[in-house]
Amino acid sequence: MTTPISSSGRDERRFGRTGYVALLGRPNTGKSTLLNTVLGQHLAAVSSKPQTTRKYLMGIFTDDDSQILFLDAPGVHAGKLALDEAMDKAIGRVLEDADILVAMLDPTREPGAEDELTARRAAGCGKPVILAVNKTDVASADDVARTLAFYRQHVPDAPALEIVALDRARVESLLQLVKTLLPEGPFLYGADDVTDAYERDIAAELIREVLLEELRQEVPHSVAVAIDTWKEKNNRLYIEATLYIERENHKAIIIGRGGQMIARIRESATRRLHAFADAPITLNLFVKVAPDWRQKKKFLQEFKLLE
């Protein structure tokens, strides 16, 4: 077991605006991007493909007068797999834990069924909601107005803000608004803590992020990543990970001609893990078949995708 990243060893309990803030939205709206930007660290997997996040991740933002515990959740999506159900449960848990919700809206896509589900969930959970309209660097004013009007049918009184989750300066107004809605209380974490997640769990997500970038269509969505070995020696991290795929014929895709694809994945993942762990990395990847794992509750539990 590795130690949680939150164990900074510093104990500076303080007091101020504090609480849990759920990031809710359909897939691909920029929830994980916002988390990374606010933390100033790349902890959550981000990709241009929907359904990147599979389980909740807490990010801890601390400044002079507040400690905001952001809960990044999977995107709201009605799928048929046991994995979809598990992701939906993760959203439910995040909503339960939250003091307030930030509904992340993506105006670059026309509102649809997933927005309807998101808006209903936001309205039904009985907690203060902020509508954060993201991607306003690329959306038109009409797109923003259309998306806001759609959500306002369900949460008419929620305050709304335009943000750019990729740009720290353009999420500041959201942070300020969140602070005004949070209660006062003692801080639960140290000033240097960024998450309560284990390093190796973050590492598995960063490897999955590479898979989402490199592989096409459904293939990356059907891969689960397990970290089998995590050893430190002479300031170098030795990591072994297994990529579990659902079908034998995906092996050839992931390994690629002459092993080219797996070599690319390994190279890119090594770079990312080096940046994350701030140490040179030796990474070995293995590929194994776990037939239809996305339908198997036991597998999902083992991978902490289901409680």
Ligand X SMILES: Nc1nc2c(ncn2[C@@H]2O[C@H](COP(=O)(O)OP(=O)(O)OP(=O)(O)O)[C@@H](O)[C@H]2O)c(=O)[nH]1
Least CB distance to ligand X at residue 168 (A): 11
DSSP for 63-126, written as a single string: -SSEEEEEEE-PPP---SSHHHHHHHHHHHHHHHH-SEEEEEE-TTS---HHHHHHHHHHHHT-
105 strand-pairing partners:
133
- What, of Mg ion, ligand X, none, does residue 62 touch, CB below 5 to 8 Å by kind? none
**Site membership for ligand X, residue 59 (CB under 6 A):** no
**Site membership for ligand X, residue 190 (CB under 6 A):** no
Least CB distance to ligand X at residue 219 (A): 16
Instruction: Name the 3-class secondary structure at 35.
Output: helix
Least CB distance to ligand X at residue 143 (A): 12
**Site membership for ligand X, residue 138 (CB under 6 A):** yes
**Site membership for Mg ion, residue 52 (CB under 5 A):** yes
- Give the number of other CB atoms < 10 A from CB of residue 192: 14
239 strand-pairing partners:
230, 283
- Identity (one letter) of the amino acid at 123? A
Task: Say if residues 85 and 54 touch (Cβ distance below 8 Å).
Answer: no
DSSP 57: E
Phi and psi at 224, nearest 5°, equal -115, 145
Identify which range of 47-55, 87-95, 152-160, 203-211 contacts Mg ion by CB under 5 A. Answer: 47-55
- Identity (one letter) of the amino acid at 126? G
- What, of Mg ion, ligand X, none, does residue 51 touch, CB below 5 to 8 Å by kind? ligand X
5, 18, 20, 47: which one binds ligand X (CB under 6 A): 47
H/E stretch holding 282: strand 281-289
Residues in the chain: 307
Task: Say if residues 107 and 143 touch (Cβ distance below 8 Å).
Answer: yes
H/E stretch holding 273: helix 260-277
**Site membership for ligand X, residue 147 (CB under 6 A):** no
Closer residue to ligand X, CB minimum distance, 146 or 251: 146
**Site membership for ligand X, residue 46 (CB under 6 A):** yes
**Site membership for Mg ion, residue 47 (CB under 5 A):** no
Take residue 278 and report the two structure tokens written for it: 């701030």
Closer residue to ligand X, CB minimum distance, 34 or 237: 34
Interface pattern 9-38 for ligand X (x via CB under 6 A): ----------------x-xxxxxxx-----
63, 65, 96, 137: which one binds ligand X (CB under 6 A): 137
- What, of ligand X, Mg ion, none, does residue 28 touch, CB below 5 to 8 Å by kind? ligand X
- What, of ligand X, Mg ion, none, does residue 263 touch, CB below 5 to 8 Å by kind? none
Interface pattern 229-268 for ligand X (x via CB under 6 A): ----------------------------------------
Binding residues for Mg ion, how many (CB under 5 A)?
A: 4
Rounded to the nearest angstrom, the gap between the alpha carbon of residue 78 and the centroid of all alpha carbons in its chain is 18
Closer residue to ligand X, CB minimum distance, 164 or 281: 164
The sign of the dihedral angle between the CA atoms of 79, 85, 86, 87 is: positive
Please report, as ranges, the residues that interact with Mg ion according to CB under 5 A. Answer: 31-32, 52-53
Please report, as ranges, the residues that interact with ligand X according to CB under 6 A. Answer: 25, 27-33, 46-48, 50-53, 74-75, 134-135, 137-138, 164-166
